[in-house]
Amino acid sequence: PAPPSTTAPPLKPWQEHLRRRAETREKYLERETDAERQSRESREQNAFKSYGKKSTYYIWEESDNGVRERKKVNKREVDEVMENYGTHQRRYDSVYDEWDLCSEFGDWTGEDQERWEEDELFLQPLSSFGQPTKDPSPPAAELPPPATEKPSAYVLPEVAIDDSPLSPPPEDDVFFGWQYPAELPGRMPKMVVSLFGLKFDDPNFEEICPPLENFANKLLYRAFGGHKQPETLEDKPINRLLCAVFQRCQHESELHRLDELCSCDLAPLCPTLRRSISKLVTVVDGVYVISPTTLRSPPPRIVVYTPEAAVFVCRLEDSDYETIVLALYRHGIRFNACYESPEQPSKSSNDYVVPILPAIYRKGTKSDPGVYQDYVRIRKFLLVGHRRRAALLMGGLLSRLAAEVIGSERECERLVQQDPSPTVLFSSWNAIVQLPNGHWLCDDVLLPIEKDCLLGTPFIAAPRSDEPRFRNNYEVWGWWPRCTVLESKNLNAYPWFWDDNNEFFYQNRTELLASSDNFPEAKRVKNWWGVSKAAEPLRRFQANFGLLCKNAIDKSLA
């Protein structure tokens, strides 16, 4: 036999790394104990379902000299980085609990957009390195027959049931650039219609689609613009269209991928929406200015901050001022109802009197229970006059906290419909956006320190040690990270759905924060990030819905 060739190309850095890890794995398996084996197998099984926050992630990126180097991924960037790599471009080592990501591991496939628990190839053991991968597609005989009927874009569909063509089809179907799972979790397939607030003549509708109680379903519903079940929306084409789109029905324009949405003609799909947008909406510097129907003089303008919120306004049954502001407030959407000023307001020393606030302590400051009790009492007297109205318009968690402090829902709705304060045109804090004609829209806004006080940024955490010398040392920690609200670039872009991803954490601590003798444990940023992060399918859904709304607005205003 001929001697083996000695001209084989050298291994790439990532190949050499995986080879050495495979050797280490074999040695480890020979001497691992039963407890270690159970722990390793548990990590492997969990990796099929979702990637853990305790794992370590590495990405192989090309350096300046063209050689790939192994770099550690920041914990905050794990979700975003993982989405950029396909199933065959990931390697998981259950011994070290590490992920390696590299585009040279394999090709991007159609299955890479499926949910983790439905992708059997998500875990690539080191033992399979260099071996051909099996075909992830199931045999054709195992696939249920595809749905043959699809509802019309303009016919109000019936409530989806398990075997209905309105339910998600079982076969892989790429829609808007990512693949839906074979089945939506829980009662979502039956609730998709009710998520849009559509009303049906079916006498069993309320029985089939009860109020949303499941937390995941609540989050999904909020992607459509609400935090509680609203009154029934009007039966008009755009409501039926959006309902059909998210039931994965195909229409004239064949919206297969999200990047094609800009080029497709939306006119035959949503003529009512186009007319509403062109009549009500103006886009200025990334915000959406609504011109409602009103008899007020001067006529106020409503500013919303996301395309989803703008489309939400256009889908309302009426376009009068009172209907819009109440709907936005009741759904927890951030907005401002502004006066128009011909000149930019200037900073004045007597804009308004800022209420007395508790001292802002530095992180780690040693304090006592009295400081926390003072904070709880002072927050109840924080909102006075138009400060209450400004807090209610902030949307999300700030709006809910303000409503709790005020205590009366009727009073909250009265304040929401109230005009801005007379001094609103004298403070640069209140300048919301500059119009193309050079005028400014102004409204009451909260100062950063007022937001901090409502959100409970400085609070006192009980000492962890029971030793007598530490018993009365209460340490100051931040509950909500300031960066989520007060970064300068996001100061006027407070996301209206932000608290929807954090409400679970907030609700579990409401009683503790309101008590004078119980002290909640501070939530560190890294832990808060993991707790509050929305699930991947929900974030994709929100992104798709947001881009759909943005492109519909761009088309209508072109």
Kindly tell me if the per-residue pLDDT of 289 is higher than 90: yes
Q: Does 6 fall in a domain?
A: no
Q: Does 302 fall in a domain?
A: yes
pLDDT tens figures, 4-43: 555 667 778 888 888 888 888 888 888 888 888 888 888 8
CB neighbour list of residue 411: distance below 8 Å, 6 or more residues apart = none
Residue 265 in tokens: 């003609």
Percent of the chain with pLDDT over 90: 3
Percent of the chain with pLDDT over 70: 42
Nearest Cα neighbor of 551 from 315, 314, 307, 310 is 307
CB neighbour list of residue 84: distance below 8 Å, 6 or more residues apart = none
Nearest Cα neighbor of 313 from 281, 274, 278 is 281
Contact in structure between 86 and 109 (CB atoms under 8 Å)? yes
Kindly tell me if the per-residue pLDDT of 253 is higher than 50: no
Residue 506 in tokens: 């907030």
Output the pLDDT for position 4: 53
Cα(216)–Cα(530) distance, integer angstroms: 16
pLDDT tens figures, 146-201: 444 433 332 323 333 333 333 333 333 333 233 333 333 444 444 433 333 333 33
CB atoms inside a 10 Å sphere around CB 77: 11
Residues 122 and 198 in one domain: no
pLDDT tens figures, 73-82: 877 677 767 7
Q: Does 380 fall in a domain?
A: yes
Contact in structure between 408 and 428 (CB atoms under 8 Å)? no
Output the pLDDT for position 303: 93
Output the pLDDT for position 97: 82
Output the pLDDT for position 2: 55
Residues 398 and 452 in one domain: yes
Kindly tell me if the per-residue pLDDT of 222 is higher than 60: no
- What residues are paired with 98 via a beta bridge? 56, 93
Residues 112 and 224 in one domain: no
pLDDT bracket for residue 503 (50, 70, 90): very low
Cα(528)–Cα(534) distance, integer angstroms: 12
Contact in structure between 425 and 398 (CB atoms under 8 Å)? no
Output the pLDDT for position 373: 62
The residue assigned the tokens 């079940």 is 229
Please say which residue of 128, 160, 190 terminates a domain.
128
Q: For strand 56-62 and strand 98-101, is the pairing parallel, antiparallel, or unpaired?
A: parallel
The 3-state DSSP class for residue 477 equals strand
Residues 343 and 486 in one domain: yes
Give how far the C-alpha of residue 260 lies from the chain's centroid of Cα atoms, to the nearest Å: 23
Cα(505)–Cα(495) distance, integer angstroms: 17
Please say which residue of 128, 163, 182 terminates a domain.
128
Of 247-261, 363-377, 429-443, 444-458, the one with minimum mean pLDDT is 247-261
Output the pLDDT for position 227: 37
Residues 391 and 452 in one domain: yes
Mean pLDDT over the full length of the chain: 60
- What residues are paired with 530 via a beta bridge? none
Between the alpha carbon of residue 100 and those of residues 29, 69, 126, the distances in Å are 20, 11, 11
Residues 337 and 477 in one domain: yes
Q: Does 138 fall in a domain?
A: no
CA distance from start to end of the chain? 73
pLDDT tens figures, 395-434: 776 787 788 788 888 899 999 988 888 777 777 778 888 8
Q: Does 400 fall in a domain?
A: yes
Contact in structure between 505 and 527 (CB atoms under 8 Å)? no
Output the pLDDT for position 470: 52
Residues 59 and 204 in one domain: no
Phi, psi (deg, nearest 5) at residue 282:
-135, 130
The 3-state DSSP class for residue 426 equals helix
Q: What is the dihedral of CA 471, 476, 480, 484, to 10 degrees?
A: -160
pLDDT tens figures, 128-138: 333 333 444 44
Peptide bond into 495 cis (omega under 30): no
Cα(238)–Cα(234) distance, integer angstroms: 10
Output the pLDDT for position 118: 37
Helix H or strand E encompassing 180: none
Residues 364 and 226 in one domain: no
Q: What is the dihedral of CA 331, 334, 337, 339, to 10 degrees?
A: 180
Output the pLDDT for position 101: 84
pLDDT tens figures, 440-484: 898 888 876 677 667 665 444 444 555 555 555 555 554 443 323
Mean pLDDT across the stretch 433-437?
87
Q: SS3 letters for 3-18?
A: CCCCCCCCCCHHHHHH
The residue assigned the tokens 């089939």 is 208
Residues 208 and 281 in one domain: yes
Query: What single-letter DSSP state applies at residue 41?
Result: H
Of 94-98, 108-112, 259-263, 549-553, the one with minimum mean pLDDT is 259-263
Q: Does 152 fall in a domain?
A: no
Number of domains in the chain: 3
Q: What is the total residue count of the chain?
A: 558
Kindly tell me if the per-residue pLDDT of 360 is higher than 70: no
Q: Does 534 fall in a domain?
A: no
pLDDT bracket for residue 111 (50, 70, 90): low
Instruction: Give Dmax over CA atoms of the chain in angstroms.
Output: 98
Mean pLDDT across the stretch 319-343?
86
Residues 380 and 260 in one domain: no
Q: Does 313 fall in a domain?
A: no
Kindly tell me if the per-residue pLDDT of 233 is higher than 80: no
pLDDT tens figures, 41-67: 888 877 766 666 678 888 888 777 778
Domain of 56, in residue numbers = 13-128
CB neighbour list of residue 424: distance below 8 Å, 6 or more residues apart = 339, 345, 386, 430, 442, 443, 444
Mean pLDDT across the stretch 274-287?
87
Half-sphere exposure for 256 (CA within 13 Å, toward CB): 4
Output the pLDDT for position 330: 80
Helix H or strand E encompassing 296: none
pLDDT bracket for residue 341 (50, 70, 90): confident
Kindly tell me if the per-residue pLDDT of 324 is higher than 60: yes
Residues 518 and 547 in one domain: no
Output the pLDDT for position 129: 31
Residues 21 and 50 in one domain: yes
